[in-house]
A and B are shown apart, each in its own frame.
Chain A
Amino acid sequence: MNDTRQRIALLSKALDLLTDRPIKVMEVCGTHTVSIFRQGLRSLLPPSLKLVSGPGCPVCVTDQGEIDAAVSLAGINGVTVATYGDMLRVPGSGSSLMNERARGRDVRIVTSADQALEIARNEKTRLIVFVAVGFETTAPSTASVILDAHRDRISNFTVLDLHKAVPPALEALASDADIDLDALLLPGHVSVILGLSPYGFLPERYGIACAVAGFEAEEIMLGLVEVARQIKEGRPRVASLYGQAVRAEGNPFARSLVDRVFEPGDSSWRGLGEIPLSGYALREEYSSMDALKRLDISIRRTPPPDGCSCGEVLRGVMTPRECPLFGNLCNPSHPVGPCMVSGEGSCAAHFRFSAGGDDPWKR
């Protein structure tokens, strides 16, 4: 047995000793979800620890109406839609960006906001719409690119701004009695930006144990041990296990970039509905870069597909396997909802990597 396996076996043992009653822990971030599955950590958790996935997959929480708006934008002559790869497959009510690309619309994959601006600089005759999704981790780079475009007067660059803020969504989950969470595993990279103070209300007001953890197997296991210990001791708090990278005050520079460009606005989350002030709205000064205004497209509310339980899955009240569509009508080749589409979606992870904590060999 190698060193890592030995250390993780010890952490697994510690977790077993610390959980003397059933506890429900939500891993908030999609990157955590995938890492937990990919490392096979579910097979190492005690049966008393129930791990549910939260609303931290940017693709999954993007509302269907928002996808429809992106699809409509892609259909306008002269428009190039640039976005992160994961967004392409998500079905809207009628089509997806992937389908639009197959139909000859100009949809391009970028891995950063910079690349989208670069397209605008190089192709002056196209109107670029950067579909900006994600949380505190991607909002600063979108802000920075908007500031660059503004400074350099790049008039053919626009943004479909779908950014969302994590803490208001956590508040919505924490205050929902149906969900009944004991603990949250918080994402390291979001916390690098936000710091720890925005999470303070979770233990204080709702008694929820919190640990900020990195994405390696050992860091995740340490995070789980930390929350199990807080629960056992009856002293919930926000602990950071992300080391030097997370400072209590976060990254003020990144936040100041975001503040210059965005202001808090209401946002619609798939599964959670409209959450007040949970979005990053473009400030008036930059409204010429708002793709919706520029191209006169609005975000409509559309009902989720029939029978799709992504909303319940994202709130942690249903496990993917409890959804009647899971595995038969909804699978990665033919996804019904976004949780089965995204590489970071919990349904896709359950389908690809195994069952819950019990038998990894059964789908």
Chain B
Amino acid sequence: METLSIGHGAGGRLTEELVSLILGRFPGNPVADREDCAVLPGGIAVTIDGYTVTPLAFEGGDIGSLCICGSANDLSVRGAKPLYIALGVIVEEGFPFEDLARFMTSAGEVCRALGIELVTGDTKVVPRGQADGLFLTTCAIGKTGAHPGLGTRNISPGDVILLTSPPGMHGATIAASRYGLKVNGLSSDCAALWPMLETLLPLEGLKCMRDCTRGGLGTVLCEWAESAKVGIEIDETLIPWDEASISVCDLLGLDPLHMAGEGCAAVVVSPEEAEAALELAKNHPLGKRASIIGSVTEEHPGYVGIHTASGGTRLVDKPVGEELPRIC
């Protein structure tokens, strides 16, 4: 009997198979646009996400801050201001009250800073061994404003790709902690993107935004190239790399383009407004390392290429399953 493997949850090609299996059982053509959140009639934006991170607390954040930032970011990249949150808590018997309180405090702090209201929730306690400590699910609800139609379908050749911060910092931090590496200066980028992305919304040439979470920047770009049927070319030397994350990836043999970020967005904007978008992003602390990293092309539709620091060119692909450390 074929069973699920951990790779089905890693955001790459296996995840696509899993998602197709689920969607195929529902009437109509559910979540057809495959964006980060759904925008319902009246500009109501909705998203839901489960959080199962190990370890529960990491440099730069914890599962509490992550569960609010992650879902709020999924709304923010479609130009929707996060307003409400619903929270599901599944906690394992024997879990310390103190830890739960600490994580809920972090979640509450992010809500307070963003003006998000917790409106409903659920708690379940399961017997020991049936959950890995604590699983959180958040459903975030928001409202679109100036730019209701942001999405992949707007992407066209000539557009410019802007990255708001170094990619892969969250993934590298988690990988380092799982495999017992200590790296100075390494920290998750876990942050709510709304305050920065909000400043970009007045730009008419703003086409599409995506937070580079599971599967990393590489996956976001591949999905754009495939669904908008365009080519994308980026330049390795223009990506604002984080040194500590790169060392972790080098040591473990992981691809930084496939590592998740939790406070990093890729933005597609018309060439006329690229500089304006860059300046707006840079004006916000979260975007101080923002950079224009490439552009959308008519050639080689469906593919993403990277011009490497060596001057060569290669394809960028999505990760297949869980990124595993290499042997030597």
- Chain A residues within 8 Å of B, Cβ to Cβ: 1-2, 4-5, 8-9, 12, 31, 34, 37-44, 58-59, 84-89, 98-99, 101-103, 109, 111, 115, 133-135, 137-138, 189, 217-218, 221, 332-333, 343-344, 351-354, 360-361, 363
Contacts and interface: CB of A to CB of B under 8 A. Distances in A.
A8 B311 contact: yes
Contact of B180 (A12, A34, A99, A115): A115
A2 B325 contact: no
Nearest to A220: B310
B314 interface: yes
Contacts of A1: 311
Contacts of B6: 98, 101-102
B3 A43 contact: no
B324 A85 contact: yes
Given A102-B4, A333-B320, A9 B327 contact: no
A31 B317 CA distance: 18
Contacts of A363: 315
Interface residues of B, number: 38
Given A2-B237, A102-B3, A352 B309 contact: no
Given A2-B237, A39-B309, A44-B312, A103 B13 contact: no
Interface centre among B305, B317, B327, by most chain A C-beta atoms within 10 angstroms, is B327
A341 to B, nearest CB: 9
Nearest to A342: B326
A59 B13 contact: no
A59 B179 CA distance: 20
B17 A333 contact: yes
Given A5-B311, A40-B308, A102 B5 contact: yes
B17 A39 contact: no
B303 A361 contact: yes
Nearest to B327: A84
B14 interface: yes
A43 B325 contact: no
B311 A103 contact: no
B310 A5 contact: yes
B328 A134 contact: yes
A98 B311 contact: no
Interface of B: 3-7, 13-14, 17, 179-181, 231, 237, 252-253, 255, 299-300, 303, 305-315, 317, 320-321, 324-328
Contact of A217 (B4, B180, B308, B317): B308
A39 B305 contact: no
Given A99-B5, A102-B4, A353-B314, A344 B326 contact: yes
B325 A137 contact: no
Contacts of B179: 109, 111
Contacts of A343: 253, 324, 326
B260 to A, nearest CB: 17
Given A2-B237, A98-B6, A352-B315, A217 B309 contact: yes
A67 to B, nearest CB: 14
A360 B13 contact: no
B327 A59 contact: yes
Given A102-B3, A109-B325, A133-B327, A39 B312 contact: yes
A363 B309 CA distance: 22
Nearest to B306: A40
B254 to A, nearest CB: 9
Given A333-B13, A352-B317, A4 B324 contact: no
Contacts of A134: 327-328
Nearest to B315: A354
Nearest to A187: B328
14 contacts: A2-B309, A4-B311, A5-B237, A5-B310, A31-B326, A37-B314, A43-B312, A84-B326, A86-B326, A89-B324, A133-B327, A217-B309, A343-B324, A360-B313
Interface centre among B13, B237, B255, B324, by most chain A C-beta atoms within 10 angstroms, is B324
B310 A217 contact: yes
Interface centre among A34, A98, A137, A343, by most chain B C-beta atoms within 10 angstroms, is A343
Contact of A40 (B231, B310, B317, B327): B310
Contacts of B325: 84-86, 109, 111
A189 B3 contact: no
Given A86-B327, A111-B252, A4 B13 contact: no
Contacts of A333: 13-14, 17, 320-321
A42 to B, nearest CB: 7
A137 B314 contact: no
A37 B255 CA distance: 12
B310 A138 contact: no
Given A86-B324, A86-B327, 9 more contacts: A12-B311, A84-B326, A99-B5, A102-B4, A102-B6, A109-B325, A333-B14, A351-B317, A360-B314
A354 B317 CA distance: 10
Interface centre among B252, B312, B314, by most chain A C-beta atoms within 10 angstroms, is B312
B31 to A, nearest CB: 21
Nearest to A42: B312
A351 B319 CA distance: 12
Contacts of B306: 40
Given A85-B324, A86-B324, A9 B311 contact: yes
Contacts of A217: 308-310, 312
A8 B327 contact: no
A41 B312 CA distance: 5
B315 A360 contact: yes
Contacts of A31: 253, 326, 328
A349 to B, nearest CB: 10
Nearest to A221: B310
